[in-house]
Amino acid sequence: MRKLLNSELNRPDIDTFKNADKHPIIVVLDNVRSLNNVGSVFRTSDAFNVQSIYLCGITATPPNKEIHKTALGAENSVEWKYFETTELAMQQLKSNGYTIASIEQVENAVFLNKLNIDAIEKLAVVFGNEVEGVAQNIVSSSDMVIEIPQWGTKHSLNISVSVAVVLWELVRV
């Protein structure tokens, strides 16, 4: 086996990518502190062709060299918006007909591997900060909560890993 060269991957250029149809998914970052995590979310969102990223509260925004370090240019290919609060982002999403799903561990959460996405036309997935997760008021105002099943001794995954796991599951079918 031979590794493929980047030129053999047939990836679109940024303009073609921006104009292509997207998965009707918006990634919402609720007060994410790490710029490396934000950059990773951009890169993953590019890989899975999501519609947009909403950066909320203290979440940093491009242009930023620390975000660029892990985004590797995806901050230029993925559409994004900034909101002073996650509540404002959720209000806009709800008014635009999005189903909002927080990714968190709560009572009555739907496990990601049991989620039936077929009935959802437009989905926003909210990921919380590295210490507190998704804020309780955001969880409470979400339409649903999705939990990533885990079997180890730790109670959470890094946010950038969680985004990758969730987006893969949402777009793979």
What pTM did the predictor assign? 0.96
Q: Which of 86, 80, 81, 76 is nearest to 30 (CA)?
A: 86
At the topology level, CATH places domain 20-171 in Alpha/beta knot (3.40.1280)
Where do the domains of the chain lie?
20-171
The pLDDT of residue 172: 87
pLDDT of 117 reads: 86
SS3 39: helix
Note the pLDDT of residue 155.
87
pLDDT at 134: 98
Q: What is the pLDDT along the chain (173 residues), one digit of tens a residue?
A: 999 999 999 999 999 999 999 999 999 999 999 999 999 999 999 999 999 999 999 999 999 999 999 999 999 999 999 999 999 999 999 999 999 999 999 999 999 999 988 888 999 999 999 999 999 999 999 999 999 999 999 989 999 999 999 999 999 86
Residue 125's alpha-carbon distances to 13, 101, 102, 152, 170, in angstroms, are: 26, 5, 6, 24, 10
Give me the pLDDT at residue 140, please. Answer: 97
pLDDT recorded at residue 118: 84
Are the CB atoms for 59 and 38 separated by under 8 Å?
yes
